[in-house]
Amino acid sequence: MNLEQHPCFNRKSHHRYGRVHLPVAPRCNIQCKFCNRLFDCVNESRPGVTSALLSPAQAMVYLGQVMKQKPNIKVVGIAGPGDPFANAEQTLETLAGVRREYPDMMLCVASNGLNIGPYIDDLARLQVSHVTLTVNAVDPAIGAQIYSWMRIGKRVVAPEEGARLLLARQMEAIAALKSKGILVKVNSIILPGINDGHIAQIAQAVAPLGVDLFNCMPYYPNQGSAFEHLDEPDKASVAALREQAGRHVKQMSHCTRCRADAVGLLGEAPSPRLMETLNSCQHLSVLPVEGQAVPTRPYVAVATMEGVLINQHLGEAQKLLIYTHTQGRIDIVEARTAPPPGGGPERWQQLADQLSDCRMLLVSGAGAAPQKVLAERGVAVTVCEGLIEEAVRRVYAGESLTAMAVRKPRACGVSCGGDMMGCGA
């Protein structure tokens, strides 16, 4: 492998060589105040966003299709949509699969650094060549303004204590990664009024550890986050911060704030064809021996009030209609009773069991909690509206449901007369 071909670490390469991010890491161990991780937001290009979640096996099927369409891909990365090492098993399994099938491919991960330490030997063994760590503060008091909480093991810690522990682990990780010969880039998100006067100190702190590249990443206004009121820093401010940080560490200035499912050249518009492939792959089950992908989940579940339209919030659905596709026809299989409200997370685990033969659940609204639980159990939750027959047909055809997306998703009980006890979000 030619490490100079990494488009993020070498500006001269980013117009010639591409990368692909495999979205196999949904969970995160830190709640950042600038982050609102939307799993299906095709019009946003920023970290934490993906249109699909893949298992390691599904990711390998998807990667095979990517390589057929974009042979200039030189890097396979894992960058979320959560943190790779809050999903260490999936991350390492995926990296191992890529190394086995594409031995000359560069491997890359992007992490907050909180839990990467125990896996650095594994990264070295798999010949991961590039790691990006996001370091937003080297002063715990400033870090406490950026993070709401952190999960360390089974314990959730308060912001300032968490920021102190995070910094210690990040510094240890950088030193350990460099001792293994791994190239390290540090991202620092510029948050106006929060850490913008602190960026140069971060660069100064990490420089003695041998960091190869430093990326002053401008904050992208993120609706729904605690920092949604912050403005994006202007170009002059970013340039000044890069000049200051550049006195300590070489600067990256061509970052495009990549999505967790980014593919192609930096800054290249998403390929509709590959987006369709990505969404199709999340509904596949892969045979472990033959390596073939087959849709073993035959059904699609729908939340509906009258059996014609997708028009019901998941939290209010007492029954779900189950559909199949047979010889070109969309047929209803049965109606299944949904678990009753009030069960908390166990309600959604129960629902996941009931829908274990369904590849997708179509609803007009759903809370974050059920979406996460169902996605982790292999049931994609898609918020949309319109004719059931049209939506189900699109699912079986592998077509996008973007045209049927709910433009202003409603919360359970807000505009539909519910009792506000259903969604558990």
Q: What is the 3-state secondary structure (H, E, C) of 137-184?
A: CCCHHHHHHHEEEEEECCEEECHHHHHHHHHHHHHHHHHHHHHCCCEE
pLDDT at residue 91 tops 70: yes
The pLDDT tens digits for 139-166 are 999 999 999 888 888 788 888 898 999 9
pLDDT at residue 245 tops 80: yes
pLDDT for the residue numbered 40? 46
How much is the average pLDDT of 300-318? 94
DSSP structural state of residue 330: E
DSSP codes of every residue in 207-226: GGGT--EEEEEE----TTST
pLDDT for the residue numbered 6? 78
Confidence label for 287 from pLDDT (cuts 50, 70 and 90):
very low
The pLDDT tens digits for 332-385 are 999 999 999 887 889 999 999 999 889 899 999 999 889 888 888 888 899 999
How much is the average pLDDT of 12-39? 79
Higher per-residue confidence, 410 vs 24: 24
Q: Does domain 3-277 have CATH number 3.40.50.300?
A: no
pLDDT at residue 96 tops 50: yes
pLDDT for the residue numbered 284? 66
What is the chain's mean pLDDT, rounded?
A: 84
Question: 277 in helix, strand or coil?
Answer: helix
For 305, the token pair is: 């009030």
Confidence label for 92 from pLDDT (cuts 50, 70 and 90):
very high
Confidence label for 39 from pLDDT (cuts 50, 70 and 90):
very low
The pLDDT tens digits for 103-135 are 999 999 999 999 999 999 999 999 999 999 999
pLDDT at residue 228 tops 70: yes
Higher per-residue confidence, 284 vs 278: 278
C-alpha dihedral (108, 119, 51, 130), degrees to nearest 10: -10
Closest CA to 15 of 24, 5, 23, 25: 5
Domain 297-404 falls in which CATH fold? Nucleotidyltransferase; domain 5 (3.30.420)
pLDDT for the residue numbered 23? 92
List the domain boundaries for the chain: 3-277, 297-404
pLDDT for the residue numbered 267? 72
The pLDDT tens digits for 383-403 are 999 999 999 988 887 677 878
How many other C-beta atoms are found inside a 10 Å radius of the C-beta of residue 327?
5
Rounded to an integer, what distance in angstroms lies between the CA atom of residue 234 and that of residue 214? 19
Rounded to an integer, what distance in angstroms lies between the CA atom of residue 215 and that of residue 254? 9
